[in-house]
């Protein structure tokens, strides 16, 4: 009987795949995180809630090897390249990733912080290839346009995100995701949260302007000369690898960005009136 | 006075933005911004043209500066850039010409 044959065939031929996985799609780039530990996969599912996309075909893939003995204290990250293979090391994890095959592995303990750091680095490498970057900045969408608010720690990223009015959607209060798109740029939401401790909205919008944050006695926008804008932006771009080719690529990307996107200084006093300047 | 020849390092990226030359060292990500005069010297640093000629042609002629002062300042300037590893100074012309000054290298 046909039904019996089919059932038998499926029973014997279906692959037994013990590897579980979570596909986390940030910035339109789905990365499959595979682990044979169901609890850890569940943890990743919770950590990246809103960014998990099981139906997306992954463009990058990582096997996660959990080792309880891996040192837990984070140290300075070291990112090095040998041909197309990147090696990423920090006290709490080490990983390798081949930029050509887009596959890699990470060895870490069962915590979401290590994978979070690894994802930021991998995304920064992928973006660098295509003229985008991750930047220390809050970002939000208002009236269909994205606004990025860059600054070092203490500049007011979390404050400006917290002050966002009801008609604005916060993409992140910590790490903004900028992707080149034709002649312009798009900002994407990220799950990389700062003091707000809230995952950003998973949406994207064309980038209208980037503001360099500075707290002051009143609210105003001041023009910034392009060289100063580039210099300030370079200080805030996430830059992990001391790789000459990559350094040049990021430099070029920032110069191109500043040449085409309005960059200004947003001096603001920490109350909701600051957003009155954002159209 | 022995001649000096200056060449741009090939481990930098350089672009003109808003009328200023911005240079980033690929080795340590240090960023430099050159003035108009500095940019003129940088762009002429092809390894083959003597520094004195660069100063005469691109500084004295264009910025109306006395030759002796201009050369002294230019020497200090190129030594600073050489100290940062983004320019090299030689007593001989450099055989292998440098890549273009304005592109990401």
Q: What is the mean pLDDT of residues B83-94?
A: 93
Whether B97 is covered by a domain: the verdict is: no
Whether B95 is covered by a domain: the verdict is: no
Residue spans of the domains in chain A: they are 14-129, 133-277
Residue B78: Cβ within 10 Å count = 22
- Which residue did the predictor score with more confidence, A105 or A240? A105
Residue A36: Cβ within 10 Å count = 15
User: Tokens for A3?
Assistant: 């039904």
Whether B98 is covered by a domain: the verdict is: no
Q: How far is CA A223 from CA A226, A238, A262, B46, in A?
A: 9, 24, 9, 36
Q: Hey, is the C-beta of A258 within 8 angstroms of any chain B C-beta?
A: yes
CB atoms B26 and A226 under 8 Å: no
Sequence-ordered alpha helix ranges (H) in chain A: 2-13, 38-47, 112-129, 157-162, 226-236, 244-260
Predicted local confidence at residue B97, as pLDDT: 55
> Is A26 within 8 Å of A119 (Cβ atoms)?
yes
Q: What is the pTM of this model?
A: 0.86
Reported ipTM: the value is 0.82
Rounded-to-integer distance, Cα B29 and Cα B21, Å: 16
Within 8 A of B31 by CB-CB distance, chain A residues are: 231, 234
- Please check the confidence at residue A71 and state whether its pLDDT lies above 90: no
**Measured between CB atoms, which of A225, A242, A251 is closest to B104?**
A251
Residue A105's DSSP bridge partners are: A63, A96
Which fold does the domain A133-277 belong to in CATH? Rossmann fold (3.40.50)
Whether B62 is covered by a domain: the verdict is: yes
- Please check the confidence at residue A194 and state whether its pLDDT lies above 80: no
Lowest mean pLDDT among A66-80, A138-152, A211-225, B73-87: A66-80
Domain containing residue B29: 5-90
Lowest mean pLDDT among A8-17, A114-123, A246-255, B41-50: A8-17
Q: Hey, is the C-beta of A226 within 8 angstroms of any chain B C-beta?
A: yes
User: What is the band of A73 on the pLDDT scale with cuts at 50, 70, 90?
Assistant: low
Phi, psi for A224 (deg, rounded to 5): -130, 130
A264 burial via Cβ count (<10 Å: 0-12, 13-18, 19+): middle
Q: What is the mean pLDDT of residues B44-69?
A: 91
Within 8 A of A231 by CB-CB distance, chain B residues are: 22, 31, 33
Residue B62 parent element (H or E): helix B61-63
- Please check the confidence at residue A84 and state whether its pLDDT lies above 80: yes
User: Tokens for A159?
Assistant: 């404050």
Whether B99 is covered by a domain: the verdict is: no
Q: The domain spanning residue B26 has which CATH number?
A: 3.90.930.60
Rounded-to-integer distance, Cα A266 and Cα A260, Å: 18
Q: What is the mean pLDDT of residues B19-32?
A: 90
CB atoms B31 and A244 under 8 Å: no
Looking at the structure of chain B, the number of domains it has is 1
> Is A260 within 8 Å of A184 (Cβ atoms)?
yes
Strands A85-90 and A93-98: antiparallel
Predicted local confidence at residue B102, as pLDDT: 52
Whether B96 is covered by a domain: the verdict is: no
Return mean pLDDT, chain A.
89
Tokens 């004195």 -> residue: B52
Looking at chain B, the number of H-run helices and the number of E-run strands are 4, 6
Rounded-to-integer distance, Cα B41 and Cα B78, Å: 9
- Please check the confidence at residue A5 and state whether its pLDDT lies above 60: no
pLDDT for A204-251, tens place per residue?
A: 999 999 999 999 999 999 999 999 999 999 999 998 877 888 999 999
- Please check the confidence at residue A124 and state whether its pLDDT lies above 50: yes
Return the residue in B13, B16, B19, B28 with the most chain A beta carbons within 10 A, the one to mutate for interface testing.
Answer: B13
- Please check the confidence at residue A72 and state whether its pLDDT lies above 70: no
Tokens 């939000």 -> residue: A140
Q: Dihedral sign for Cα A192, A198, A200, A202, please.
A: positive
Q: How far is CA B21 from CA A170, A187, A218, A255, B3, in A?
A: 36, 28, 34, 11, 26
Predicted local confidence at residue A192, as pLDDT: 92
Q: What is the mean pLDDT of residues B69-86?
A: 94
Question: If interface means Cβ-Cβ distance under 8 Å, which residues of chain B face chain A?
Answer: 11, 13, 15, 17-18, 20, 22, 24-29, 31, 33, 104-105
Q: What is the mean pLDDT of residues B73-102?
A: 84
Q: Which stretches does DSSP call E strand in A153-223?
A: 168-172, 175-181, 184-188, 204-215, 220-223
Predicted local confidence at residue B63, as pLDDT: 82
Whether B27 is covered by a domain: the verdict is: yes
Coarse DSSP helix, strand, coil percentages of chain A, rounded to the nearest 5 percent? 30, 35, 35
């Amino acid at each position: 009987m046909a039904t019996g044959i089919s059932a038998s065939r499926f029973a014997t031929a279906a692959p037994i795949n013990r590897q579980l996985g979570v596909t986390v799609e940030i910035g339109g780039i789905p990365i499959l995180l595979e682990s044979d530990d169901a609890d850890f996969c569940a943890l990743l599912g919770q950590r990246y809630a809103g960014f998990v996309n099981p139906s997306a075909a992954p463009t990058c893939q990582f096997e996660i090897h959990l080792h309880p003995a891996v040192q837990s204290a984070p140290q300075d990250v070291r990112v090095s390249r040998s041909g197309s293979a990147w090696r990423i090391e920090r006290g709490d994890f080490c990983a390798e990733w081949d930029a050509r095959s887009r596959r890699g592995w990470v060895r870490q303990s069962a915590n979401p912080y290590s994978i979070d750091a690894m994802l930021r680095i991998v995304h920064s490498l992928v973006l660098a290839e295509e003229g985008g970057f991750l930047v220390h900045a809050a970002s939000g969408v208002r009236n269909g346009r994205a606004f990025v608010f860059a600054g070092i720690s203490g500049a007011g990223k979390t404050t400006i995100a917290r002050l966002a009015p009801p008609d604005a959607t916060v993409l992140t209060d910590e790490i903004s995701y900028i992707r080149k798109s034709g002649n312009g740029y798009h900002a994407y939401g990220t799950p990389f949260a700062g003091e707000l401790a809230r995952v950003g909205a998973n949406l994207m919008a064309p980038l209208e302007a980037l503001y360099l944050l500075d707290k002051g006695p009143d609210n105003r926008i001041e023009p910034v000369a392009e060289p100063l804008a580039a210099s300030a932006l370079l200080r805030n771009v996430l830059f992990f690898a001391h790789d000459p080719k990559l350094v040049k690529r990021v430099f070029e990307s920032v110069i191109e960005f500043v040449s085409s996107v309005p960059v200004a200084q947003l001096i603001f006093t920490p109350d909701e009136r600051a957003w009155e300047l954002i159209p | 006075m022995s001649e000096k020849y200056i060449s741009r390092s090939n481990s930098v990226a350089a672009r003109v933005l808003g009328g200023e030359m911005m240079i980033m060292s690929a080795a340590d990500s240090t960023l430099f911004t050159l003035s108009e005069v500095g940019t003129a010297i940088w762009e002429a640093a092809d390894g083959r043209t003597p520094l004195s000629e660069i100063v005469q042609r691109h500084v004295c002629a264009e910025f109306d500066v006395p030759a002796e002062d201009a050369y002294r300042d230019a020497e200090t300037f190129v030594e600073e850039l050489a100290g940062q590893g983004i320019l090299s100074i030689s007593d001989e012309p450099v055989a292998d010409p440098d890549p273009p000054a304005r592109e990401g290298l």
